[in-house]
Structure 1
Amino acid sequence: MLHIFCPYCGEHREEAEFRPKGQAHIARPLSPEQCSDEEWADYLFFRDNPRGIHHELWVHATGCRKFFNVTRHTVSYEILETYKMGEKPKVTAESLAKGGRS
């Protein structure tokens, strides 16, 4: 079982308290009514599925009920960081390639 750090509660809690909600940092089109069907379908249905570092949206479902972001390695399932909504990730594939987590 994973123990996930909630950046709002400030505690590590069991994985069962959380729910993954998909890829993080997906920008909604500014003018949805002006999108083509193809552009709208791309926004709704198509997500990255990388092997390695991935930024995900999670919710602390049975805790504070707030959404936050997780940087997770999809091969090892290791959670590298959690951070509040609106913040940028510190750990990226590029930062790890340069030799660090910062």
Structure 2
Amino acid sequence: GNNAPAGGAIRVVVSGELSFAAGARMSADAIGNPRREGGGTGGSIWVTCGTVTGTVLIRADGYSSSDNGLKPIGGSGGRIALVVTDEGSSWSGIVKAEGGKGHGTAAR
């Protein structure tokens, strides 16, 4: 097909503490191309660690389609797994895998 590319895959394994610096970002968002028919699907992020600290934005969003007269379909959100094996984590942030928006998809 002529759809936009999907997001990538991120795999992180830390046996001890995973510490995010302020403003850290981890992204497997789909990339877009306005000349493509549909939005790409978000990628995948799979993190396994003993503990996690800090503040982070983790995203695997689908790409929104453009209003280019082609198939106006947004890509689905990806998948995110944050597996923490030990007690004592202290972190904050946003974890999201939203679907992309389509254009011209009103009910008829």
Q: Hey, which of these two has a bigger chunk of helix by percent?
A: 1
**TM-score normalised to structure 2 length:** 0.20
**Which has more strand, going by share of residues?**
2
Structure 1 length-normalised TM = 0.21
Rg larger in structure: 2
